[in-house]
Structure 1
Amino acid sequence: MKKEKYFEAELSEQDDNAFSLIADIEDNDEQYDTKIKLNGKVPVLPLRNMVLFPGIFMPVTIGRKSSLKLVKDAEKKKALIAVVCQKSAQVESPNIDDLHLIGAMAKVVRILEMPDQSTTVILQGVKRITLQELTDTSPYLKGKADLFDEEIPPKEDKEFIALVDSCKDLTLRYLQTTEGAHLDSEFAIKNMANNIFLVNFICTNLPLKKEEKIELLLITSLRERAYRLLEILNREVQLAEIKASIQMRAREDIDQQQREYFLQQQIKTIQDELGGSGQEQEIEEMRKKGNFMNWSSDVMAVFEKELAKLERTHPQSPDFSVQLNYLQTMLNLPWGMYTVDNVNLKNAEKILNKDHYGLEKVKERILEHLAVLKLKGDMKSPIICLYGPPGVGKTSLGRSIAESLKRKYIRMSLGGVHDEAEIRGHRKTYIGAMPGRIIKSLIKAGSSNPVFILDEIDKINSDRQGDPSSALLEVLDPEQNHSFHDNYLDVDYDLSKVMFVATANNINQIPPPLLDRMELIEISGYITEEKVEIARKHLVPKAMEANGLNSKKINSPLKIGKPTLEAIIENYTRESGVRELEKKIGKILRKAARMYATDGYFSPSDIKPSDLYDFLGAPEYTHDKYQGNDYAGVVTGLAWTAVGGEILFIETSLSRGKGNKLTLTGNLGDVMKESAMLALEYIKSHAALLNIDEDIFDNWNIHLHVPEGAIPKDGPSAGITMVTALASAFTQRKVKANLAMTGEITLRGKVLPVGGIKEKILAAKRAGIKEIILSVENKKNIDEIEDMYLKGLDFHYVSDIKEVLAIALTNHKVVDAIDFTAKKNETK
């Protein structure tokens, strides 16, 4: 069909009357009625992939010399020729078996010499023929053929008219859908009025398969031929529309890509005129910055390799941003950048004392580090773990350390962290990869030797995503952290100059390998006196500022004195730290601010303990007070709690019964129950020492109770207290007034040391205790406490329970003492 389209174009340029010729013939049906007689041989013109129908003009490009001679002879003699189609286009010299026997007689209308030196002949079909045989092959094919007519429906046949109209509409639809269809074909079809000619014209010129055209030519009835043509046209139109839809979608994609490509090229051209693209400028800036970085040769080699990879990556590729982020991370890290430490010990001590009251051990350890740093000039930073109850200032202490050292301060909360990648980062090949929080914090600090607070290190969790505490082993080991390996960075980074300070509430929850890498410093709870000073120096001024009471608009100052602060601590808070105290002070100051904003003055301006009811309501807590020694079997012990020390009463009562029954109440733990059994066994085995009749144990039941049964109690600290309570109950002797004790016992009667001595001592002092019995091994704990907290207290250091009983039990029996001999005498 390409040759046909090319010919039609050439024909329209050479002969403007080409389509007028077609019009003349199609309006004239004489050619269908022409009587042709075939006598003898007729010239046979074999065509390749072309089928000629009666009445139709068809241009044919002549290639064979024999065919060219045939058409020239026919033109001269005005003779008709037989036109048939070859079965295979590759056959150069066909015989009868290589030809379709159905064809058409045609006349040569015109021979044209084309500009490309080829020859084109215009043929017009006249009648259908059937080729019987070939008789000659030289100088061209000749043979015998039989004519056979077509069954032509009458002009008034409405069915045929409608059928042809449908074929016409489908053909026009096909030509409009098919890309490259010639406008002349569409014009010719629209202007054809002869239905017979139109059907044959479509069959000839539509690009159908050769086999289908032969099939159509074989159909004698024009109505049946039109029906078959309609089926073929329906199929071809559907295929053409599907193909056009596919091509349209493909063209849209290609057009969008080409548009983006051209726009990118324009942008690149503009950027080149301005001195290079943004990506090229950025890469060049990174290269220049990398040349000034304090890198080792290994890190520099990695940077150069990754930068070269970035240059080879297209800016529109997703890998470009990944690679760019990685290189920016490398450049933003403070490689070899250190702040200068302040080694002025007096100034550092002043800052630590200003920010925190007490905490002498911690301050001493920091100052020791500074002293070594001053003498040596450089040292591996220690890993300090501050542990203690909440609210005692562990986290804020890290900020003070950073300020005293003049270092950058970083705080990283580890509470609830359960992904190892939070510490070590993700590999950069993952989608959304990023460095670990250690590296990100160093980028934020801009220094390689900050004070790094690892807050709540005991709250780390582990699950299927890894164990973050194991990832911290390398971070917190001074022998390993000089080459810390982050998965995202993928090169070693020096953390040896970082001063890590970990905080924890409970060191028992920290894995032993991690705990072994840290230097533990305990921060115990504050005593009342320390809380008063913290509130006076820090909490009250801070709350005043927060509530607008330091404003210039305030004429008269508001005062909260030490007795008031102490009353708040004793009656409205129960904690080791000062968070709850800070809240209570804030509540008071908010109410005072409302008073001033409403009335213009404070009422009262000096808040006394008696005013606290109006500000805070009824007291929320009450501390136990010493209750005297009027009862036998009641002894005051000392206990440690998470919110400070408390006094503890051990009560013992005896009742007649079968004996050997010990009842324990007061929500006691296993250790405390064992201490009670130990105490009873010791009393039984040393009954003679206390002048106790052994028959008492068989006739009296023992009930030991620790008040406040809703509160769980456990620990060995009440061991000697229980022994003294049982001894007092069995002997009915009074316990020395204003005496308290704490210590663990053994079955042999040895008194062992216990913990929490400072808190217990302060609790005893608050309760009005004057004398305290301790293990001799606890004397070192007393020596560490400041004298101001020990004033008014006498200490008895013992090593055996006999010493305890000698000090605690007096020779005075209580009023209404139990007569253990009465029942025995009645029996006698």
Structure 2
Amino acid sequence: MNKSDFFPTLPLRDIVVFPRMIVPLFVGRDKSIKALNEVMKTNKKIVLVTQKNAEKDDPTEKDLYSFGCESKVLQLLKLPDGTVKVLVEGLDRVKILECRNDKDYLATSTEIIKDKIDSPQEDVLALSTALIRKLEKVINVNKKISLELTTNIKQQSNPSIIADHIAGQLNISIFEKQKLLETVDLKVRLEKLMEHINNEMNVISVEKRIRGRVKNQMEKTQREYYLNEQMKAIQRELGEIEDGKDETAQLQKSIIKAKMTKEATKKCLSELKKLKSMSAMSAEATVVRNYLDWMIELPWNNKEKQIEKISIDEAKKVLDQDHYGLEKVKERILEYLAVQKRVGKIKGAILCLVGPPGVGKTSLGKSIAKATGRKFVRMSLGGIRDEAEIRGHRRTYIGSLPGKIIQQMKK
């Protein structure tokens, strides 16, 4: 091909055609169809160049890459919808020297670029052989690449043809394929192909590991589901659970609905898992079920008035309305509330009201609750000798209950 000649050119979207590569193309643009009609009148040779931006409908010289492929049209078929299906074969790697867009179609002046071989022939042949072997390994694990490709490549002895065949079939980006087309040095092109194939092998091995993990997880989940269903069927036969009533499922819904803390939810779900594997009539199952019932019924998400929103003036007014005198006591209570409001936390000292019966200790407690917008709970500790009554019993005992504080919170 002479430098002065202008040949019809077909801009391509999302594909790079390499020499000796046979590929079908669907053509729909008017200029491209006219270019094909023009070459069919002559020697059927056309220049194929990839666009930098596939969305451009009417590309100019700056929208095309500087390297393309001189190709020959093997077959042309006009479809009913107006588009044209064409089968082309790449012939030679060409460099675009000049682009002309003044006719009905795009035409370019090109120069054929031959492969540059600076390395010894033995090195290039050894590299191409290693590339074929590596490709065979990829094809064994990746079914996306055709097995016929390896058969065709093995019949070739020219490293340039081998490199172009492999480059056309690799699952890499258009930009990377174009860089391979523009690489004139044959040894460098073979090395780049080896790098791409190694990357493909790494990706395939990672995908295989991920698929294996997912498969194992799915099998484990299916196994657990199957065993749970079997256990439920056995329990129904034994009369331990009634049809349509799955206690564990209801408990799980209640645990999530209670909006507990992260740690409490984790603990409750762990206990529920234990409960599933227990017989409903066992003593231990009763203990676990009672524990879960108490945890669900506690007011986890019910928040009273914030300490920062308490009005000290309102608290003073409430204390004066409910009690006459007791100035030092009321002053200490207001100091305590003021500090709590300032700090913004409930942690700190606890008020202890000491005095004989009837002096107003309980009524002062009620007034503090009223002033702070909280519920007042009276808990008598008279006659209690065991601290478990306050803290709660250990769950190892049958009939164990939480302490008085938790019981009052539940109420």
CA 1:322–1:422 in structure 2 vs 1: closer, same or farther (change >3 Å)?
Answer: farther
Partner AA of 2:221 in structure 1: Q
What is the deviation of 1:83? 0.9
Alignment of 1:94-493 (within 5 A): 94-111=59-76, 119-136=84-101, 138-151=103-116, 157-178=121-142, 180-258=144-222, 260-261=224-225, 263=226, 267=230, 271=233, 309=254, 317-318=269-270, 320-321=272-273, 325=286, 328-329=289-290, 420=387, 424-425=391-392, 435=395, 437=397, 439-440=399-400, 485=404, 487=406
Give how far 1:43 is off.
0.7
**Cα distance in 2 between the residues matched to 1:276 and 1:489:** 38
Structure 2 partner of 1:54 = 19
Contact 2:116-2:186 at 8 Å conserved across structures: yes
**Secondary structure of the equivalent of 1:123?**
strand
Tell whether 2:58 aligns with 1:93. Answer: yes
Please state which structure has a larger fraction of its residues in helix.
2
2:392–2:404 CA contact under 8 A, matched in 1 = no
CA positional deviation for 1:45:
0.8
Cα drift, residue 105 of structure 1: 0.6
Question: Match for 2:5: what amino acid?
Answer: G
CA distance in 1, matches of 2:289, 2:62: 79
Separation of aligned partners in 2, 1:276 and 1:93: 78
In the TM superposition, what whole-angstrom CA distance separates every residue of 1:517-559 from its partner, at most 9, and x where no partner exists? Answer: xxxxxxxxxxxxxxxxxxxxxxxxxxxxxxxxxxxxxxxxxxx
Closer/same/farther in 2, CA of residues 285 and 181 from structure 1, 3 Å limit: closer
Structure 1 residues 204-213 or 94-103, which shifts more?
A: 204-213
Q: Counterpart of 2:101 in structure 1: which amino acid?
A: D
Query: d(CA) in 2 for partners of 1:285 and 1:179?
Result: 49
**Distance change in 2, residues 1:233/1:485 (3 Å):** same
Task: Indicate if the aligned counterparts of 1:54 and 1:200 stay in contact, CA closer than 8 A.
Answer: yes
Query: 2:28 touches 2:82 (CA, 8 Å); kept in 1?
Result: no
Task: Provide closer, same or farther for how the CA distance between residues 132 and 435 of structure 1 changes in structure 2, counting only shifts above 3 A.
Answer: same
Larger proportion of strand: 1
Shift in Å, 1:165: 0.9
Distance 1:199 1:277, change over 3 A: farther
Query: Kindly tell me: are residues 485 and 199 of structure 1, through their superposed partners in 2, closer, same or farther at Cα, counting changes over 3 Å?
Result: same
Aligned residues: 305
Does the 8 Å CA contact 1:421/1:436 hold for their aligned counterparts? no
Corresponding residue for 1:505? none
| SS of structure 2 residue aligned to 1:109 | strand
Q: Distance in 1 between matches of 2:85 and 2:271?
A: 60
Equivalent residue of 2:399, what SS? helix
CA radius of gyration, larger in: 1
Q: 1:84 aligns with which of 49, 52, 72?
A: 49
Quote the Cα distance in structure 2 between the aligned partners of 1:325 and 1:250: 37
1:485 alignment partner AA = K
1:222 to 1:421, Cα distance in 2 relative to 1, 3 A: farther
- CA shift, 1:251, in A, is 3.9
Given that 1:422 and 1:437 are in contact with CA atoms closer than 8 Å, whether structure 2 keeps it comes out as no
Would the aligned equivalents of 1:45 and 1:83 in 2 still touch at CA under 8 Å?
yes
Task: Supply the distance in 2 between the matched residues of 1:145 and 1:87 (Cα, whole angstroms).
Answer: 18
The one-letter code sitting in structure 2 at the alignment partner of 1:199 is A
Secondary structure at the residue paired with 1:150? coil
Task: Please give the residue correspondences for 1:575-590 in structure 2 after superposition, counting only pairs within 5 Å.
Answer: none
CA distance in 1, matches of 2:390, 2:239: 37
Mapped to 1, the partners of 2:384 and 2:114 lie a distance apart of: 113
Change over 3 Å in CA distance of 1:192–1:92 after alignment to 2: same
Q: CA RMSD in A?
A: 4.9
Whole-angstrom CA distance in 2 between matches of 1:113 and 1:277: 74
Distance of 2:81 and 2:272 partners within structure 1: 54
Displacement of 1:194 in angstroms is 4.1
- CA-CA distance at 1:123 after TM superposition: 1.7
- Say if 1:96 and 1:437 are closer, same or farther in 2 by CA, change over 3 A: same
Contact 1:42 1:81 (8 Å CA) reproduced: yes
SS, match of residue 18 in structure 2: coil
Q: What TM-score do the two structures reach when normalised by structure 1?
A: 0.31
Q: CA deviation at 1:321?
A: 4.7
Q: Could you tell me how far apart the structure 2 residues matched to 1:384 and 1:42 are? A: 106
1:610-625 matches, within 5 Å, as none
How far did residue 319 of structure 1 move?
5.6
- Once residues 20 and 98 of structure 2 are traced to their aligned partners in structure 1, the CA distance between those partners, rounded to angstroms, is 24
Supply the AA of the counterpart residue of 1:425.
Answer: G
SS in 2 for 1:59: strand
Q: Normalized against structure 2, the TM-score is what?
A: 0.58
**CA drift at 1:163:** 0.6
Counterparts of 1:213 and 1:252, CA distance in 2 = 37
Q: Secondary structure at the match of 2:105?
A: coil
Following the alignment from structure 1 to structure 2, what is the Cα–Cα distance between the partners of residues 242 and 160? Answer: 31
How far apart are the structure 2 equivalents of 1:275 and 1:439? Answer: 29
Deviations 1:664-703 (A, max 9, x none): xxxxxxxxxxxxxxxxxxxxxxxxxxxxxxxxxxxxxxxx
Secondary structure (helix, strand or coil) at the match of 2:254 reads: helix
Superposition pairs for residues 19-58 of structure 1, below 5 Å?
Answer: 36-37=1-2, 40-58=5-23
CA contact (8 A) 2:132 2:150 kept: no
Measure how far apart 1:211 and its partner are: 2.9
Contact 2:26 2:83 in 1 (8 A): yes
Change beyond 3 A, Cα 1:330–1:126:
closer
- Could you report, residue by residue, the CA deviation over 1:617-665 in whole angstroms, capped at 9, with x for unpaired residues? xxxxxxxxxxxxxxxxxxxxxxxxxxxxxxxxxxxxxxxxxxxxxxxxx
What amino acid maps onto 1:136 in structure 2?
A: N
Distance 1:49 1:276 in 2: 66
State whether residues 49 and 69 of structure 2, in contact with CA within 8 Å, keep that contact through their aligned partners in structure 1. Answer: yes
